[in-house]
Amino acid sequence: MRSLFQSTYSSRSGFTLLEATLSIVIVAVMLCTSLNLVGAYARARNSRQDLSRAMLLAQQLMSEIVQSSYADPVSGSTTFGPESGEKRSSYNDVDDYNGWSESPPANRAGAVIPGFTGWTRSVQVSYVDPTTPTTVVSTDKGMKRIVVSVKSPSGKVQTLTALRSTSGVYQHVPSAQTTYTAWVGVTLQTGTASSASVSSSVDTVNLVP
């Protein structure tokens, strides 16, 4: 009697074409998702950096403006805005800065602040009602609103608003000769001389205009 044995042998040595295609699709989807997440993070990070730099630029210019006198202390001029022949280095009252714009940003002496090419700063000053500072009025009621706007190279605008009044601490002149500190500031810079620098400052309450 003869027995017949039948055996079946199957061998798989690699992926099938369908499996390889599915693997490619899965990897491609994961890669696209990862790239989108990385791109979104980079955009958010750049946006936060621009916001911080814009606010520092706005604070620096606002600090310079609010330490000026409410009205022209020399000539008593009623001109709203800079008097004839005045330039930023000689501005001595708040509304002298009305309409001021510069690009790139510079300090009061006119030296360009490194690392801010393409940035723009502008100022708008207006009379406001002391009881409702959001209301612009055409005549002087003893309060001015200052709005500093900073525009980044990407087109985003950051604004900073301050109020200046005739009865504020900046208008109180000491009755006797006094030695005082009017302004404290710091400038930080990393890298080479052409790298961006960041300035921040604060005015003290005993400032004499």
d(C-alpha 55, C-alpha 28), whole Å = 40
d(C-alpha 61, C-alpha 171), whole Å = 19
98-139 pLDDT tens trace? 999 999 999 888 889 888 999 999 999 999 999 998 899 999
57-100 pLDDT tens trace? 999 899 889 888 888 877 667 788 888 888 898 898 899 999 99
Query: Which pTM value belongs to this model?
Result: 0.63
pLDDT value at 175 more than 80: no
